[in-house]
Structure formats: C-alpha cells, structure tokens
C-alpha cells in the first residue's frame, strides 16, 4: 500500500516583538512553504532570524526540516506579522529510516 502523505499547516500571529515558533514538538517535514500574510517577518533559528520574507510572499525550504526549529520575528517593531507554514510530514517509516523517529 503506498504511503499517503499527511499535509500539515501551522499558523500564528506575533503577539509582540519577540521571536516565536509555531510548535513546541518535533514535526519533521519534507519541502516546506512559509507564507507571510501581514507585515514582513524575519525567519531563522532561535538565536538568529537572518531571512526576511515580505508580506504577501511565500518562501520555500527544500529538504528535511524540523518545524520546531524555525523561528519568526517581526521585521519592524510593533508591526505584528502573520505567518503560516505548510508541508508534508515524514511518515513513521521515513523517520525511522533517517534515524529521527
């Protein structure tokens, strides 16, 4: 029986000017799309959001990604960004094969 992909979406709006992530648990995904809807968002790790994604734009990350490790922050203080992230979760067998499960 072929693996049926599980498409997952996470979203949030910044509540302040601190960095935030979309989940506190490990969620491993294949290719991921980051959508920024309202106000520009800086994207990166917990300590360093080095990429700016403009409002009404999409940024794609290719390859295996742990969603828990992606952080967002308002590019401009006081202008709370609204972000969504969508992608295909790795199956249990894929996680096991990669040593992630």
- The angle subtended at Cα 60 by Cα 42 and Cα 51, nearest 5°, is 20
Instruction: Give the residue-averaged pLDDT of 14-42.
Output: 96
Phi, then psi, of 83 in degrees rounded to 5:
-125, 155
Q: 25 is in which domain, residue-wise?
A: 6-96
Closest listed residue to residue 55, CA positions, set 68, 63, 43 = 43
For residue 1, tell me if it sits in a domain.
Answer: no
For residue 36, tell me if it sits in a domain.
Answer: yes
How many structural domains comprise the chain?
Answer: 1
For residue 88, tell me if it sits in a domain.
Answer: yes
CB 101 within 8 A of CB 92: yes
For residue 53, tell me if it sits in a domain.
Answer: yes
Token representation of residue 41: 């968002």
The domain that contains 37 carries what CATH number?
2.60.120.10
Residue 1's pLDDT band (cuts 50, 70, 90): very low
Total-model pTM: 0.90
pLDDT of residue 93: 84
Measured CA to CA in angstroms, residue 99 lies from 28, 31, 72 at distances of 12, 18, 27
Token representation of residue 62: 């290719």
For residue 84, tell me if it sits in a domain.
Answer: yes
pLDDT tens by residue, 33-90:
999 999 999 999 999 988 999 999 999 999 999 999 999 999 999 999 999 999 999 9
Q: Pick 3 or 59 by higher pLDDT.
A: 59
For residue 101, tell me if it sits in a domain.
Answer: no
């Amino acid at each position: 029986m072929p693996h049926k992909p599980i498409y997952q979406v996470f979203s949030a709006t910044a509540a302040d000017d601190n960095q935030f992530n979309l989940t506190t648990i490990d969620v491993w995904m294949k290719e991921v799309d980051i959508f920024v809807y309202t106000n520009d968002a800086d994207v990166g790790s917990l300590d360093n959001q080095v990429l700016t994604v403009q409002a009404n734009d999409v940024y794609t990350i290719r390859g295996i990604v742990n969603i828990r490790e992606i952080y967002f922050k308002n590019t401009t203080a006081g202008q709370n960004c609204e972000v969504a992230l969508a992608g295909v979760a790795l199956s249990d067998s894929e996680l096991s094969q990669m040593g992630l499960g």
